Amino acid sequence: MPEKQQDITIKSPCTHVCTLDFDTGYCYGCGRDRNEIGLWGKYSDAQRQEIIDILPERMKAIDESI
């Protein structure tokens, strides 16, 4: 029997500014790292929420590295 596909309600934080900061490795637009961006579609809502919760702190780190 095939697995039931998860209902995903947390959408990608992508802002279409897809450039990684060299110092932090985080995207200038959304704050995710390369792996998180690539795996976003496979994450559960709980995993996505964990990432969403830390993005403001990451965006501060990007601002500080500029």
Is residue 60 domain-resident?
yes
| Tens of pLDDT, residues 7-56 | 779 999 999 999 999 999 999 999 999 999 999 999 999 999 999 999 99
Domain that holds residue 58: 17-66
Is residue 50 domain-resident?
yes
DSSP string, the chain: -PPPPP---------S---B-TTT-BBTTT--BHHHHHHGGGS-HHHHHHHHHHHHHHHHHHHHH-
- Number of structural domains, the chain? 1
Is residue 53 domain-resident?
yes
pLDDT at 51: 98
